[in-house]
Structure 1
Amino acid sequence: MKPNLDPVSTEDMDDHERAAFNELIRPSDSYLPDGTYWADLPVGERVKFCVQQDRIETRKEMAWLWDMFKTDPLAPIAYYFKNSVLPGAGLGLEGYVLFSISNVTPLFKASYKECWSTGKVCNPNWIAAVNYLEVVGILIGQIIVGLLGDWIGRRWGLIQDAVIMFVGLIMLTAAWGMTLNGWVICYAWSLFFYSIGVGGEYPMTATIGMENGIGSGKVNMSKDRLHRGRSVVSAFLMQGWGQFANQAILIILLLIFHHGDGTPPISTTTTNWTYRISFFIPAIGTLWLVYYRAYHVKAAAASKQLDAQKKKASVTGYDTQSLKLTFKHFTPRLVATAGCWFANDVFFYGNKLFQSKFIAVISPHSTSLMTNWLWNLVNIAASLAGYYCASWFVDNKLYGRKMMQNIGFMMCFILFIIPAFLLKYYESAAHIHSFQAMYFLSSFFNQFGPNCTTFLVAAEVFPTPIRGTAHGLSAAAGKLGALVIAVVGSYTTTQQQFYIVPWFGLAGVLLTELFLPDTTGLDLREQERRWLHIRQGREHEYHGPAVHRKHLSVWERWMGKGKYYDADLDYQMKVKEFRAEWEAAMAVRGEEKDALFDLDDVDESIFQGSLHTYFERTSPMIRAMEKSEVEPTTLPDDARDDEDTHGRE
């Protein structure tokens, strides 16, 4: 159903003003000139529209990048550092440390055989507890910090995560004991403490990356629709760079202290210097992260969307009502995000379980620790390629989150099920290259698939007041998957593991297809708008894109959620909602006369924008609207400048 194209008089506007007005309600990156939503188009026209919009956006970004480069050749690097490296710094540091645990274990086994290999002088339960306590610590951090992030604020969660990780790294670096068994116990509990901070990084990084795209007053809304996923995944992929840096540094340190190719025996002195320095290096970076988050991340910016939603709902603490409504209306989504993350972590950590077997097959006569590490470096490089492909394609309307997750799960299933029934065949030297290809491809498609998308959608498909909690619960379910496969790996052979792991890929496909909505191309403001109706008990009165069948799961369609979608009614409701905001804004403007007002003085609706900028740049349009009593609206994205230009923080 197409909306009325001209419900208000625009006779006194010129072409530019009229186009700006239409862009407010029907942005050209999502709607045709006749008002048809992109997801309502027939398949052929939809493909044509999406390809055209991708070309337009690519040309814009390339022109912008070229202009930046001409002004300062290093500016693109600085931009990437500010918008991807810094937001993902915590995940990069935790990726470095957590994957260091599995990397230094062979080093411990080579130097402390009587402890880590034979268990003669160390309790085997404490050796096993190193891995278990790591997972339990992460799980606790994900749940607790997710709750606290929704309760106290996002910035507090960021700071406490960094502090816990810094203290934990000092504990890991200085771990000691009167006996080897005492050292193992100290090492295990230090890792547990550090992992609590790691767990908190997941919900905080995802929610802030998600919310910085809406309502901040600094981000063009088209970037939220077109590049929201890329922003979050670009921060998440720093985890891959953390793994890469850790493996590279361990190789360098072993070369320095061992003076060889890593072939045992390796002295205890070499092991101590290697692993302790490898932990001390990220401790320096984490200390800087504490400083940066404490003094350069503003509370108002980090929790702006959360505070706005609490203000509208008159909530001062934790929004328990939103939690109840989330379980009432979005339980299937929580099943999808938690269940898919569980299935993914079985694959992700299963890949690590098979790593030693894989290396033993391709290098059967090598006893060098360096061989293991070098092949792991190649595997991390394949994973990094998958991370970047995910960030490039996750916002593509013709591919997007849901298809990427389904294809990733299916490819992992195929790449694991083949060697599961033909392991002896691929273990032979004649077919080793095929085994190599399947192993590296499984790493690639795990990142170019569920490992990135589960992190993204667990924050994206839930409302702001409960986003941290929902993400934390989903991530914790993933760590349960990691714990399950760690236990399974301790009591099964490689062949048995290959029989077990692939089926979680099919489970992931089933959960994704049935219960996960596809939010690719959906404006997050529409989700918040729908949530407002749900909270007010008026779900049936919301008719916008958030209940379009394209953005609903199969289960939600079966439950009849899509029946509320009506483009015509939605357009009329938006005009009424914008009128209310316009009148509130004009009232404040009248009180302050010609001065620019602060939006914090009025109710911050989900459609708020930098209206003061709009007033300055489109005053002829405002006069036309006032003369013709045009229905109210908010600021168009194209009319915004950075707030700093107008003297506002």
Structure 2
Amino acid sequence: MARAHPLNVLATLDRARTQRYHLAAAAIAGTGFLAGAYNLFAIIFAGRLIGRVYYADETATPGQLPPDAAAALNGAAFCGTFLGQLAFGWLGDRIGRRRAYGWALALMAVFSAASGLSFGREPKAVLATLCLFRFWLGVGVGGSYPLSAAVIAEYANKRTRGAFVAGAHAMQGVGILLGCAVALGVCSVVPEADHVWRAILVAGAAPAALGFYLRTKLPETARYTALVARNPKRAADDMSLVLRTRIQEQEVDVSVGRVDDEWGLFSVQFLKRHGLHLLATSSACFLLSVTYYSQNILQKDLLGKHGWVSPSPAASMGAVQEVARLARAQALIALCGATPGYILSVVLIDVLGRRRLQLAGFVVMTVSLLALAISYDHWTSHPAGFFALYNVTFFFANAGPNATTFVAPAELFPARLRCTCHGVAMAAGKAGAVLGTFGFLSKGADSKYVSGIGARNELFVLAGTNFLGMLMSLFVPETRGASLEVLSKEVVYESIDMFMDSNGE
């Protein structure tokens, strides 16, 4: 074993009671998620209006973009997010979480505003500039995933770490509701459809700018400073200011033995220690996202059956009215399924543990989707039951794997590779999102798409992906209540009892 040296600051963070700086870190990380969710979600409303304004003469169904235009608009953000998760994950391990996170938030703020200012003499030119801005917006949004996860995980104590990381992730639900509220507000005061979609997109710059400002209020995380930058004295000084107490040797006299930490991501040592962890977390993210982002095939039936969105919007309502009704419908879905699920994940993740919660979520999603698929004809003629099963599926997605697949990668890997590995897992999820968004489109979604396998068979496929997600979850170790350094095998504590809290946890 290598030389022993004190890392009291890490022990102090693990044992610290929940206090103001925990809430500040959660607010900073959560604001980035809120901004990202808002900006990715707002394109639903913008796309409707862009179709009305710029493509009224080019499609038989006004109110919808042509398939190639819609694919370009969604694909630009997905590609940017995928790249951002990988690039900013790597960057966060090189220059620090705080600095890289600032760059990601700045990208979000600038290109959110730019998206609303998209220009061109022809519809294709407007769409091209919007796609360009959405790509770079996606890069910033993607960067917020690994960086915000690392920031809150490295600041939190080990007892409530899961709740704080899941709480930051749950701000996605707030971002979706904020998007609906802004859309409703803008539609009520702005009569011109071309101005409405621009105002909705520009508004996304505000939460990103707020997050950029808030992140100046906290120093770099102690774990990055001590373990990656190798400056434990600076880490102790920073945390003394944050904790408002002096971290002294006699407070926590813990010696740790450093293990060999020179190996990188593409090494035999990493493969032996964390290869299965990275495979399992990435696979679970991928499989969950296939289901999560394919919900458009369910929403089409759900919204149509309830009459919230007319199948012929141009004939029955104006463009602004259609978006207002769509915003109300999306808000109801979020309030009934997504938001309660997010809240439950925060409450249960440190009680049941990550692994158990993830397994339960995948099991319920599998059963719910099978129930929808087996009796599909019955449910489509009974919209109330369809609505209930639909919300059960995505309630448990948000209460379980949607939260845990975000939390676990932030805990399992060494500090010097934490953001990189988290970015890889999230990028795998984004690849699943692309498959879920575009892989199930058929004539049922738009007459210009080739004939698909049918909604019922698609539901069977989605049930199968969730079953595979359940199997992959078996290979994700439980991380509840353990120090990050123990989980990542980054250091070996010689006085492990000093890391136990007063309750013996």
Instruction: Give TM-score, length-normalised by structure 2.
Output: 0.80
Q: Corresponding residue for 2:467? A: 506
Q: Paired residue for 1:85, among 3, 24, 27? A: 27
Q: Is the 8 A contact 2:25 2:152 kept in 1?
A: no
Q: CA deviation at 1:158?
A: 0.6
How far apart, CA to CA, are the structure 2 residues paired with 1:248 and 1:173? 18
Given candidates 242, 254, 265, the residue that maps to 2:175 is 242
Counterpart CA distance in 2 for 1:449 and 1:271 is 38
Other-structure match for 1:282: 204
Judged with a 3 Å threshold, the aligned counterparts in structure 2 of structure 1 residues 342 and 171 are, in CA distance, closer, same or farther, namely: same
The residue number in structure 2 matching 1:580 is none
Residue matched to 2:305: 361
1:383 paired with 2:338, answer: yes
The 5 Å alignment of 1:60-99 reads 82-99=24-41
Counterpart contact for 2:354–2:480, Cα < 8 Å: yes
How far residue 243 of structure 1 moved from its aligned partner, in angstroms, is: 0.6
Provide the C-alpha distance between the structure 1 equivalents of 2:283 and 2:141, rounded to a whole number of angstroms: 21
Q: CA separation in 1, counterparts of 2:22 and 2:479?
A: 25
1:483 to 425, 428, 434: 434
Q: 1:417 to 1:115 in 2, by over 3 A?
A: farther
Kept after mapping to 1: 8 A contact 2:303/2:309 = no
Per-residue deviation at 1:310?
8.4
CA change 1:197–1:354 in 2 (3 A) is same
Alpha-carbon distance in structure 2 between the residues aligned to 1:635 and 1:433: 51
1:488–1:497 CA contact under 8 A, matched in 2 = no
Contact residue 206 and residue 459 of structure 1 kept, 8 A = yes
Rounded to whole Å, the distance in 1 between the matches of 2:57 and 2:227 is 50
Please list every run of 5 or more consecutive structure 2 residues that lacks an aligned counterpart in the other structure.
1-11, 233-257, 443-451
Q: 1:497 and 2:452 equivalent?
A: no
Match of 2:364 in 1: 411
8 Å CA contact retained: 2:25, 2:155: no
Structure 1 residue 373, shift from structure 2 partner = 2.4
Matches within 5 A, 1:212-361: 212-213=155-156, 223-224=157-158, 226-258=159-191, 270-293=192-215, 295-299=216-220, 301=222, 303-307=224-228, 321=264, 324=267, 325-361=269-305
Q: Which stretch shows the higher mean deviation, 502-511 or 456-465?
A: 456-465
Q: Contact between 2:224 and 2:416, CA under 8 Å: does it hold in 1?
A: no
Could you tell me how far apart the structure 2 residues matched to 1:402 and 1:184 are?
43
TM-superposed CA distance for 1:364, in Å, is 7.7
C-alpha deviation, 1:114, in angstroms: 3.2
Answer yes or no: is the 8 Å Cα contact 1:356–1:372 preserved in 2: no
SS at match of 2:494: helix
Q: Is residue 129 from structure 1 mapped to residue 72 from structure 2 by the alignment? A: yes
**Deviation for aligned residue 1:256:** 2.2
CA shift for structure 1 position 109: 3.0
C-alpha distance in structure 2 between counterparts of 1:117 and 1:517, whole Å: 51
* Superimposed CA distance per residue, residues 164-194 of structure 1 (whole angstroms, 9 cap, x where no aligned partner): 1112112201101110111011111110110
Deviation at 1:634, TM superposition (A): 6.2
- Alignment partner of 1:407: what SS? helix
Does residue 1:108 correspond to 2:63, yes or no? no
Aligned-partner residue type, residue 503 of structure 1: G
Cα distance in 1 for partners of 2:41, 2:472 equals 28
Cα displacement string for residues 104-139 of structure 1 (whole angstroms, at most 9, x for unaligned residues): 32233344443774599x985343211111111100
Separation in 1, partners of 2:467, 2:430: 19
Match of residue 486 from structure 2: 526
User: Which amino acid counterpart does residue 32 of structure 2 have in structure 1?
Assistant: G
Could you tell me how far 1:362 is from its partner in structure 2? 2.4
Describe the superposition over 1:28-81 as per-residue Cα deviations: whole angstroms up to 9, x where unpaired. x99xxxxxxxxxxxxxxxxxxxxxxxxxxxxx99xx9xxxxxxxxxxxxx8896
How far apart in 1 are the matches of 2:297 and 2:227?
Answer: 40
Q: Following TM superposition, by how much is the alpha carbon of 1:161 offset from its aligned partner in structure 2, in angstroms?
A: 0.1
Question: What is the Cα deviation at residue 205 of structure 1?
Answer: 0.7
Q: Is the 8 A contact 1:150 1:306 kept in 2?
A: no
SS class of match (2:481): coil
Q: 1:373 aligns with which of 308, 327, 332?
A: 327
State the structure with bigger RCO (CA 8 A, min sep 6), 1 or 2: 2
User: Which of these residues, 350, 356, 365, is aligned with residue 395 of structure 1?
Assistant: 350
The number of aligned residues is 443
Decide whether aligned partners of structure 1 residues 419 and 320 sit closer, same or farther in structure 2, where only a CA change above 3 A counts.
Answer: same
Partner-residue secondary structure (3-state), 2:389: helix
Once the 2 structures are TM-superposed, how far is the Cα of residue 275 of structure 1 from its aligned partner? 1.4
Aligned to 2:7: none
Gapped regions of structure 1 (runs ≥ 5): 1-26, 31-59, 65-77, 214-222, 259-269, 534-572, 576-606, 608-632, 639-649
* 8 Å Cα contact 1:127/1:184 also seen in 2: no
Whichever residue aligns with residue 432 of structure 2, its letter is G
3-state DSSP class of the match of 1:502? helix
Structure-2 separation of matches of 1:364 and 1:105: 17
8 Å Cα contact 2:225/2:231 also seen in 1: no
Measured in 1, the distance between the counterparts of 2:170 and 2:378 equals: 35
Partner residue in 2 for 1:51 = none
- Partner amino acid for 1:284? A
Residues 1:501 and 1:103: Cα distance change in structure 2 (over 3 Å): farther
Letter in 1 for 2:219: K
Give the superposed CA RMSD: 3.2
**Is residue 357–residue 401 contact of structure 2 (8 Å, CA) maintained in 1?**
yes
| SS class of match (1:330) | helix
SS in 2 for 1:177: coil
Preserved contact between residue 126 and residue 185 of structure 1 (Cα < 8 Å): no
Contact in 2 for aligned 1:402/1:517 (Cα 8 Å): yes
Moved more, 279-288 or 435-444: 279-288
For 1:81 and 1:256, the matched residues in 2 are separated by: 35
Residue number in structure 1 paired with 2:113: 170
Question: Secondary structure of 1:114's match?
Answer: coil
Cα distance change of structure 1 residues 448 and 183 upon mapping to structure 2, 3 Å threshold? same
> Alpha-carbon deviation of 1:375?
2.0
AA aligned opposite 1:237: A
Q: Distance in 1 between matches of 2:78 and 2:58?
A: 19
Q: Distance in 2 between matches of 1:93 and 1:449?
A: 22
Q: Is the contact made by 1:305 and 1:464 (CA closer than 8 Å) also made in structure 2?
A: no
**Partner residue, 1:204:** 147
Structure 1 residues 391 and 107: alpha-carbon distance in aligned structure 2, compared to 1, 3 A threshold: same
Offset at 1:140? 0.3
CA–CA distance in 1 between the matches of 2:391 and 2:346?
19
Give the match for residue 378 of structure 2.
425
Structure 1 389/289 Cα, relative in aligned 2: closer, same or farther at 3 Å? same
